[in-house]
Amino acid sequence: MLFRPGDEPSGFVLVLDGEIAVHLTGRSGREISLYEVAPGQTCVQTTLCLLGQVSYSAEAVAKTAVEIAVVPAGRFHRLLAESAGFRTFVFRSLGNRLSDVTGVLEQVAFVRIEARLAQELLRRAGGGEVATATHQELAAAIGSAREVISRRLEVLSRLNLVTLERGSVRILDRRGLVRVAETSDGM
């Protein structure tokens, strides 16, 4: 765990190696993945907190071993004021990440759960047949609840699109799953 809601940022973070997942957890315990931070990227939560002088509202968890560079808050503000190159980097990173978060909001608001689930399964499987993930991980990735994901996976299984295995989902009919993923109203 790198930070939790209410924590104060110690400085501007740049990921040098590894991967960080940033998500929100509601009062009900339901999670939604906002974005991941890869090498060469920054954390928009940290940037927003530093700019607004507020505490974190999300959580960040290292998905792998990570190496980061931290620019202390005071130096971050001086660099923003004095370095056009740094300022451009910070605001470009901020804009790109906010675009990603807007994409998550669009998906949750406007794309049915079946289509989002199919898209996530296909993304996790890549060119292969197996999407490795628990029902909870899938739920967090698409902004749903574990119980809903379990029910939707059972439907996909009954349609012979997938088979369910512990910790993974095997894709049986990729074309059928792609059709579900591309249909905004689901199945």
Residue 72, helix vs strand vs coil: strand
Mean pLDDT of the chain: 90
Confidence at residue 30, expressed as pLDDT on a 0 to 100 scale: 79
Distances (CA, A) of 9 to 23, 74, 137: 16, 12, 26
Q: Residue 55: enclosing H or E segment and its boundaries?
A: none
Cβ proximity of 22 and 34 under 8 Å? yes
Distances (CA, A) of 173 to 112, 114, 129, 165: 20, 15, 9, 16
Q: Residue 133: enclosing H or E segment and its boundaries?
A: none
Cβ partners under 8 Å of residue 141, min gap 6: 33, 120, 133
Class of domain 113-182: mainly alpha
All structural domains of the chain with their residue ranges: 11-110, 113-182
What would the pLDDT profile of 52-71 be if each residue is shown by its tens digit? 999 999 999 999 999 999 99
- What mean pLDDT comes out for the span 27-50? 89
Q: pLDDT band at residue 37, thresholds of 50, 70 and 90?
A: very high
Residue position matching structure tokens 């890869």: 38
Strands (E), the chain: 11-17, 20-25, 31-37, 59-62, 67-72, 130-132, 162-165, 168-171
Confidence at residue 185, expressed as pLDDT on a 0 to 100 scale: 53
CATH superfamily, domain at 11-110: Jelly Rolls (2.60.120.10)
- What mean pLDDT comes out for the span 84-93? 95
Residue type at position 55: S
